[in-house]
Amino acid sequence: MKISLVIPTYNEERYIKKCLESIEQQVQKPDEVIIVNNNSTDRTVEIAKKFNVKIINEKQQGISFARNRGFNETKYDIIARCDADCILPKNWVRHIKLSFENEQADALLGPLYYYDLKIPTKKLFIALVNFLKVFLGHYPIIGPNFAITKKIWNKIKGDVCNDDKIVHEDIDLSIHINKAGGKIKYDQKFINTLSSRRLKNNPYSFFVEYPERCVRTIRNHK
């Protein structure tokens, strides 16, 4: 079983090096790493070129367009996804492989925590997952820490919504996986870490806009 790792990027020069270094340090490395450059104007691509990655350009601006382009370009059975400001635990890829080998599932997600905050934010993400599960009736997808099968992606890629102003791309993806009969597995031991930049730079977006988009996404699909 081989894994493709997709990382959408937009002006990530401050973070992408550490992310790619953490991928190089994996106990089992992904079989391909795809960097989707979504119109970056900084040194993101220049830094990424120093690593063993495939760089593709997506001109349509938006996380959904970048994610979808990356997923469509993948070659292997499992598509993993993280953000450019993630620092992956050394067993992250290995955990994905073992999970899909040992259990029938179409998607895998796990909790996150901020590596640059002292407060125990892992519990915050666990609470968020459980909260969304109540409203959705199934587990959600959490963008910086999930993997899906190429098979389920091919099944739903024509149905997913692309307008980030109308839907939240992760919640939308999980809804379409569920509608297609896919199984989403939540594994509390499948952990990833990321920076707290979004929380620090725009707390309104994190605490107000994000929940509003999640609720709007759920309503739009009923």
Whole-number pLDDT of residue 205: 57
Bridge partners (DSSP) listed for residue 34? 6, 54
Q: What is the pLDDT of residue 89?
A: 98
pLDDT on residue 134? 87
Q: What is the pLDDT of residue 207?
A: 61
Rounded CA gap, 132 and 145, in Å? 16
Measured CA to CA in angstroms, residue 149 lies from 15, 17, 64, 71, 91 at distances of 27, 27, 18, 10, 19
Which residue ranges make up each domain of the chain?
A: 3-220
- The CATH code of the domain at 3-220 is 3.90.550.10
pTM flag (> 0.95): no
Query: Residue 146's closest CA among 181, 197, 182, 180?
Result: 182
CB 205 within 8 A of CB 197: no
- Termini Cα distance of the chain: 36
pLDDT of residue 25: 98
pLDDT at residue 127, as a whole number: 82
Nearest to 87 by CA among 141, 16, 8: 16
Over its length of 222 residues, how does the chain's per-residue pLDDT go in tens digits?
899 999 999 999 999 999 999 999 999 999 999 999 999 999 999 999 999 999 999 999 999 999 999 999 999 999 999 999 999 999 999 999 999 998 889 999 999 989 988 776 777 778 878 888 888 899 999 889 999 999 999 999 999 988 777 788 999 999 999 999 999 999 999 999 999 887 777 665 566 677 777 777 877 776
The per-residue pLDDT for 212 is 77
Task: Supply 2's token pair.
Answer: 């081989």
